[in-house]
């Protein structure tokens, strides 16, 4: 029996409140589960590619004769591509839809990864890093935006965290494969990039998914929004039977108020009116947070090498550390929609800062491995919390653009930061890293207090 809402349960014409209410009754079954699987697959290969370069960097230095500055150049090229992908891809997704540009991102990332197999020399590697990174930037922003907009409002945090968990599995996979494959041959590291090209297979999962109804509504395409929403509802009904009645609660009114608060479009819209404060705060958070993630995702193996560990030991520590990522994302899944977002922001950041400091000063390999695992776990816990917060700060008309602006600011800093890291490591040695991590995390904790918090928490506040 169909549960398509009637005029007695929602307004006769589709609006933001009724759309959010209908989405909020959809469990993660049927078509909703397909959406999660598709975005999880995209995240898997996105995080796989992001982690691969940091793991193979020491082997590339030996095989290709690259210097620290060469590695820094390739890292900067990577973040330049991610900036372009996030900024341009986010804007295109707000103009032309989430799914078309998400498919483009997956193709670029996969083909770019395959190109590394045949690359030789700094310029060729740089070109393929750029293509791969543009795809990664698109995937990160657009997949997250799409998932948030087709999820129940009160489950956005946990669903983003759960799909990000599979991204963490991608990072852990490349770490395990690196530990197994890289020691076999001086050029065996190329196989890791070949495996990254399998992301092309995930395109099949993106076929025939419904477009975001909230995005269609924000573009004034109410009839299409209704069609796509009904496709999503019917896809879930086939798995669970009749859906519960539509109930428009306070949380839905909060979403509707956000959807109707747009004071501009495009990149300028992210800096106008009430959007200015969250955009500036998120940009600052991403800049500082990128310092942390880059040190650990890109420079970890190199830092361990500088601390005197041989190739097998540093690969083992790296493998153990990256396995912490899926654990952290499972923790985020469990607590994302249960603990206040600001509590998680502050608590996780402070603990991570302390762990990062200890990582930088203890000498024993076993303890370093445990601390690296804990730090990766906390990074992975914090990441989906930050991503869900970013989704809640923007309406659908600006969500992908605003997220792209905020995220790309971190990538912009990351273009410069590799040379800063290389200079700091050359001047002060690997011991400086612990203090860098502590300082960065404390800044993240303080900045996070300025965000509005989740839609769920805001909906319990009295109306002005």
Whether the predicted pLDDT of 158 surpasses 70:
yes
- Alpha carbon dihedral 379, 382, 388, 391, in 10-degree steps, equals -70
- At residue 28 the predicted structure's pLDDT band, cuts being 50, 70 and 90, is confident
Out of 189-203, 264-278, 316-330, give the one with best mean pLDDT.
189-203
pLDDT of residue 162: 87
Of the candidate ranges 142-146, 157-161, 355-359, the one whose mean pLDDT is the lowest: 157-161
- Mean pLDDT, the chain, whole residue set: 83
Across 363-390, average pLDDT: 88
C-alpha distances (whole Å) from 132 to each of 84, 85, 191, 416, 452 are 11, 10, 16, 19, 34
pLDDT of residue 254: 56
Out of 48-62, 102-116, 184-198, 430-444, give the one with best mean pLDDT.
102-116
- At residue 13 the predicted structure's pLDDT band, cuts being 50, 70 and 90, is low
% of the chain at pLDDT higher than 70: 90
- At residue 455 the predicted structure's pLDDT band, cuts being 50, 70 and 90, is very low
C-alpha 271/C-alpha 274 separation (Å) is 8
Across 34-43, average pLDDT: 91
- At residue 93 the predicted structure's pLDDT band, cuts being 50, 70 and 90, is very high
Q: Tell me if 59 sits within 8 A of 186, measured CB to CB.
A: yes
Q: Which residue has the higher pLDDT, 349 or 418?
A: 349
Across 188-201, average pLDDT: 90
pLDDT of residue 283: 93
pLDDT of residue 352: 95
pLDDT of residue 255: 56
Does residue 310 sit in helix, strand or coil? coil
DSSP output for 212-270: PHHHHHHTT-HHHHHHHHHHHHHHHHHHH-SPPPP---HHHHHHHHHHT-----HHHHT
The residue among 109, 126, 125 whose CA lies nearest residue 117 is: 125
pLDDT of residue 247: 73
Of the candidate ranges 106-110, 163-167, 248-252, 265-269, the one whose mean pLDDT is the lowest: 248-252
Using a 10 angstrom Cβ sphere, with 0-12 exposed, 13-18 middle and 19 or more buried, the burial of residue 364 is exposed
Whether the predicted pLDDT of 391 surpasses 90:
no
Q: Which residue has the higher pLDDT, 18 or 168?
A: 18
Residue 449 phi, psi dihedral angles, 5° rounding? -65, -20
The total of other beta-carbon atoms located within 10 Å of residue 4's CB is 14
Across 19-47, average pLDDT: 89
Q: According to DSSP H, which parts of 270-394 are helical?
A: 276-297, 300-306, 311-322, 324-335, 341-361, 365-393
Q: How far is CA 317 from the centre of its chain?
A: 24
DSSP output for 336-347: TTTS-HHHHHHH
pTM summary value: 0.79
C-alpha distances (whole Å) from 315 to each of 59, 102, 190 are 10, 33, 16
pLDDT of residue 318: 80
333-359 confidence digits (pLDDT tens): 888 878 888 888 899 999 999 999 998
Range 16-240+270-453 has CATH code 1.20.1250.20: yes
Domain boundaries, the chain: 16-240+270-453
Tokens 């499972």 sit at which residue?
330
Q: Which residue has the higher pLDDT, 456 or 47?
A: 47
Tokens 């097998």 sit at which residue?
312
Whether the predicted pLDDT of 107 surpasses 90:
yes
pLDDT of residue 362: 84
List CB contacts of 75: < 8 A, sequence separation 6 or more.
Answer: 53, 294, 298, 414, 418
Q: Check the CA dihedral 438-282-143-197 and report its sign.
A: negative
Q: Which residue has the higher pLDDT, 154 or 110?
A: 110
Whether the predicted pLDDT of 403 surpasses 70:
yes
Q: Tell me if 247 sits within 8 A of 21, measured CB to CB.
A: yes
Across 58-64, average pLDDT: 84
Across 111-115, average pLDDT: 93
Q: Which residue has the higher pLDDT, 124 or 395?
A: 124
225-276 confidence digits (pLDDT tens): 999 999 999 999 999 888 888 776 655 555 555 555 555 567 788 888 888 8
Whether the predicted pLDDT of 457 surpasses 60:
no
């Amino acid at each position: 029996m169909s549960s398509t809402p009637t005029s007695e349960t929602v307004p006769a014409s589709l609006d933001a409140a009724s759309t959010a209410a209908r989405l909020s009754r959809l469990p993660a079954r049927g078509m909703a589960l397909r959406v999660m699987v598709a975005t999880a697959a995209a995240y898997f290969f996105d995080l796989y590619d992001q982690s691969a370069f940091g793991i193979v960097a020491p082997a590339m230095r030996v095989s290709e004769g690259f210097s620290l500055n060469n590695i820094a150049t390739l890292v900067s090229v990577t973040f330049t591509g991610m900036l372009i992908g996030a900024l341009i891809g986010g804007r295109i997704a707000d103009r032309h839809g989430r799914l078309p540009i998400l498919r483009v991102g997956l193709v670029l990332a996969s083909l770019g990864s395959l190109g590394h197999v045949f690359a030789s020399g700094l310029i060729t590697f740089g070109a393929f890093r750029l293509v791969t990174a543009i795809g990664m930037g698109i995937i990160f922003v657009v997949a997250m935006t799409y998932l948030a907009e087709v999820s129940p409002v009160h489950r956005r945090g946990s669903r983003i965290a759960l799909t990000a968990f599979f991204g963490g599995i991608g990072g852990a996979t490349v770490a395990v494969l690196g530990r197994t494959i890289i020691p076999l041959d001086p050029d065996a590291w190329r196989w890791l990039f070949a495996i990254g090209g399998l992301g092309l297979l995930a395109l099949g999962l993106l076929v025939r998914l419904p477009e975001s109804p909230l995005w269609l509504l924000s573009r004034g395409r109410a009839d299409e929004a209704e069609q796509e929403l009904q496709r999503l509802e019917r896809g879930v009904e086939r798995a669970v039977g009749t859906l519960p009645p539509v109930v428009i609660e306070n949380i839905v009114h909060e979403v509707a108020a956000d959807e109707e608060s747009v004071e501009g479009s495009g990149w300028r819209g992210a800096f106008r009116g009430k959007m200015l404060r969250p955009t500036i705060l998120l940009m600052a958070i991403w800049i500082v947070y990128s310092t942390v993630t880059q040190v650990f995702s890109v420079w970890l193996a190199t830092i361990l090498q500088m601390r005197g560990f041989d190739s097998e030991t540093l690969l083992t520590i790296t493998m153990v550390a990256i396995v912490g990522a899926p654990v952290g994302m499972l923790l985020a899944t469990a607590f994302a929609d249960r603990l206040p977002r600001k509590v998680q922001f502050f608590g996780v950041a402070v603990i991570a800062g302390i762990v990062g400091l200890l990582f930088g000063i203890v000498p024993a390999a076993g303890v370093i491995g445990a601390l690296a695992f804990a730090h990766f776990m906390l990074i992975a816990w914090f990441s989906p919390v930050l991503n869900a917060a970013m989704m809640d700060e923007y309406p659908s008309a600006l969500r992908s653009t605003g997220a792209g602006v905020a995220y790309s600011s971190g990538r912009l800093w990351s273009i410069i930061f590799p040379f800063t890291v290389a200079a700091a490591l050359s001047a002060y040695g690997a011991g400086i890293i612990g203090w860098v991590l502590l300082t960065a995390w404390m800044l993240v904790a303080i900045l996070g207090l300025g965000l509005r918090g989740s839609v769920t928490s805001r909906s319990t506040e009295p109306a002005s």
